[in-house]
Amino acid sequence: MEGKSNKENLTGLSSQLMEIFIADLFKKNQIDKEEAKTRISAEQRENLKQTVEQLKTQVEDFLQTKTTYEAGTSQEESATSNANPLREAFMKKSKKKENSEMTDENKKDN
């Protein structure tokens, strides 16, 4: 469900950004929207539609690989932490030692 929500949010956001960009471009070049619609040929319309569909496909693929990657890394992290409790204890001990050494150095400097 969260994937669809993200997809819908990104689709809405991208369409809003596209509308803003196009409106700004038309305003800068003093182009009337209705006039521009009549001047676009059928071939140009079809090319634009194909481009939009390709971009949608690329965004969907990107989101799919991102969610797959995130799911894989979270599973790896949980498996690593569960498999190596001795390593975790060693890392905590070394961090504590580093912190205590740094505070001792700071006290000597003052």
Domain encompassing residue 54: 41-110
Three-class DSSP labels, 24-83: HHHHHCCCCHHHHHHHCCHHHHHHHHHHHHHHHHHHHHHHHHHHHHHHHHHHHHHHHHHH
Q: How many CA atoms lie within 13 A of 40 on its CB side?
A: 15
Q: Mark whether 69 and 98 lie in a shared domain.
A: yes
Same domain, 22 and 60: no
Q: Are residues 6 and 28 in the same domain?
A: yes
Are 27 and 75 found together in one domain? Answer: no
pLDDT grade, residue 109 (50/70/90)?
A: low
pLDDT tens by residue, 68-102? 777 666 666 665 556 677 788 888 888 888 888 77
DSSP structure class, residue 85: H
Residue 32 Rama label (left phi>0; alpha psi -120 to 50; beta): beta
Are 99 and 55 members of one domain?
yes
Indicate the number of domains in the chain: 2
- When pLDDT is cut at 50, 70 and 90, the band that residue 6 belongs to is confident
Whether residue 59 is predicted with pLDDT greater than 90 in this model: the reply is no
pTM equals 0.42
Q: What confidence score (pLDDT) does residue 1 get?
A: 46
Is the same domain home to 49 and 68?
Answer: yes
